[in-house]
Amino acid sequence: MGYLIYDGLPAVRCDGGSEGPAGTLSHRSLLAMSSPTDSNAFSSHAEIEKVKKEIEQLEYELQEAVQIFEKAKSHMLRLKKKLEERKASIAPIRAIPVEILIEIFLLASKDDDLAPVILSGVCRWWRNTILATPRAWSFIRIGAHMDQK
């Protein structure tokens, strides 16, 4: 009893029966199971070792590339931070003389007795300025903001 094999289709018996015991076989599957007739088709141990070495070399180069990438990314983040600091140092508010800034802070403190606390959280320069201005703190009413029970 012979079987006809169609590429990608079930094996069919020559006598007209349905699927044979071989199940689904393809021409390529059968060729893969047979021995190659060309003696050059066999890989030698040396060729296998050569490919293994090549893979190891590529893995090593990939690790180096990842390390270079991480280093460059870290450097870029430091530069971005430095850029933001430089931008902040040339902001228009920095052009105002400190004496005028103090007067603005005093006016704000008269309107809202918590203004010195709020202003001290804006930036380091404002914090140092408001801390060095005792008059701004004189407008705070102690106990005025406590909940009455």
Digit-coded pLDDT (tens) for 112-132: 888 999 999 998 889 999 999
Give domain limits for the chain.
3-33, 44-89, 92-137
89-100 pLDDT tens trace = 788 888 889 999
CA-closest candidate to residue 105, choices 82, 72, 73, 128:
128
CA-closest candidate to residue 137, choices 98, 110, 97, 103:
110
pTM of structure: 0.42
With bands split at pLDDT 50, 70 and 90, how would you rate the model's confidence at 136? confident
11 contacts: CB under 8 Å, gap ≥ 6: 3, 4, 5, 19, 20, 22, 23, 24, 25
Q: Which of 13-22, 32-41, 57-66, 121-130 has the lowest mean pLDDT?
A: 13-22
